[in-house]
């Protein structure tokens, strides 16, 4: 599937409605209302109602970020109500935490389809609600390709390093550890032809650490990174936006590919190196992330 334009995905606690307008007005490409970790058990029901109303209102805006809701995990006492109330409000994606297997995905799809049947937005021509799946355990990472391919509603995989690393005693500050997990997730997403998005960076004041992790994720083909504070949005947007030099090189490569194709050549020399279809495909994908570039194709 084409890469989505989700350089930054800003979490906002579902029980903090005073933060909703600021998040929706931010520069984040996606806003993720959180009903899971950010909401205490005694506030789950109230947060669910607040988030559903916010999503319903925001979905009608002509210009808005992508709307995501992270529901509670499948086996929690809140999951069924989350799906019934929130999914019917018309988010773009549901973020499903702690997915363990392909069977979990299919269970979520059943709940999602039931919610869509009662949705007021179900007949307005909106695309079906997608599923963004969190990979947060060693077992889930091992089976991530099967999880990603479990249903066409799956749009992407999201890495959850805290839940993955902490129980195993793995050091999050070792770049080799982070790279290994990112690489495994990206390969699994590639098998299923879905995107990969990076998880949150917990130290809100550590700009250098956030940028370094985001840069690593981009080099591995991730489309964006989760943000837990509005200040991180600008860092993520910059990290996952192509530079002017990258766009120029991509345009030149696409132009050279057209000339080679007209001459009947599949592979050709570009800037001193031999390139062929995969290189051209990557250049076109890069240009497609910038609206004004895609029109020049």
Both 194 and 259 in one domain: the answer is no
Both 210 and 273 in one domain: the answer is no
Last residue of a domain, one of 239, 254, 279: 239
Mean pLDDT for the chain overall: 89
Tell whether the model's pLDDT for residue 296 goes beyond 80. no
pLDDT band (50, 70, 90) for residue 124 = very low
Tell whether the model's pLDDT for residue 294 goes beyond 60. no
Q: Give me the domain span that covers residue 43.
A: 8-239
Q: Which residue has the higher pLDDT, 154 or 258?
A: 154
Both 192 and 257 in one domain: the answer is no
The model carries a pTM of 0.86
Tell whether the model's pLDDT for residue 116 goes beyond 70. yes
Both 69 and 119 in one domain: the answer is yes
Q: Is residue 248 part of a domain?
A: yes
Closest among 132, 112, 131 to 122, alpha carbons compared = 112
Both 73 and 169 in one domain: the answer is yes
* Tally of domains in the chain: 2
Spatial CB neighbours of 183, under 8 Å, sequence gap ≥ 6: 220
Contacts 24+ apart (CB under 8 A), 210-214: 210/235, 210/236, 211/235, 211/239, 212/175, 213/178, 214/239, 214/240
pLDDT for the residue 126: 56
pLDDT digits (tens, 9 = 90+) for 224-244: 999 999 999 999 999 998 877
**Tokens standing for 70?**
């992270």
CATH code of residue 126: 3.20.20.60
pLDDT band (50, 70, 90) for residue 1 = very low
**Which residues is 197 bridged to in the sheet?**
158
User: Lowest-pLDDT range, 2-6, 74-78, 178-182?
Assistant: 2-6
Tell whether the model's pLDDT for residue 293 goes beyond 50. no
Q: Is residue 154 part of a domain?
A: yes
pLDDT for the residue 254: 83
């Amino acid at each position: 599937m084409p890469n989505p334009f989700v350089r930054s995905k800003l979490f906002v606690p579902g029980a903090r409605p005073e933060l909703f307008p600021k998040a929706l007005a931010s520069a984040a490409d996606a806003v993720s209302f959180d009903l899971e970790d950010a909401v205490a058990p005694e506030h789950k029901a109230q947060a669910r109602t607040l988030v559903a109303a916010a999503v319903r209102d925001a979905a009608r805006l002509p210009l808005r970020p992508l709307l995501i809701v992270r529901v509670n995990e499948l086996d929690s006492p809140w999951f069924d109500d989350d799906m019934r109330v929130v999914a019917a409000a018309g988010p773009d994606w549901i973020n499903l935490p702690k997915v363990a297997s392909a069977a979990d995905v299919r269970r979520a799809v059943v709940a999602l389809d039931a919610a869509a049947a009662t949705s007021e937005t179900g007949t307005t021509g909106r695309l079906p609600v997608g599923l963004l799946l969190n990979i947060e355990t060693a077992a889930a990472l091992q089976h991530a390709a099967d999880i990603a391919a479990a249903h066409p509603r799956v749009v992407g995989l999201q890495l959850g390093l805290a839940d993955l690393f902490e129980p195993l005693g793995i050091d999050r500050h070792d770049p080799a550890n982070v790279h290994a997990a990112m690489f495994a997730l990206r390969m699994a997403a590639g098998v299923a032809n879905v995107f990969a998005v990076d998880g949150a960076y917990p130290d809100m004041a550590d700009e250098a650490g956030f940028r370094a992790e985001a840069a690593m994720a981009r080099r591995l083909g991730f489309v964006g990174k989760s943000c837990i504070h509005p200040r991180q949005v600008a860092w993520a947007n910059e990290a996952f936006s192509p530079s002017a030099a990258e766009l120029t090189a991509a345009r030149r490569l696409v132009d050279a590919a057209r000339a080679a194709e007209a001459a009947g050549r599949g592979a050709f020399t570009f800037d001193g190196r031999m390139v062929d279809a995969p290189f051209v495909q990557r250049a076109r994908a890069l240009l497609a992330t910038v609206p004004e570039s895609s029109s020049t194709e």
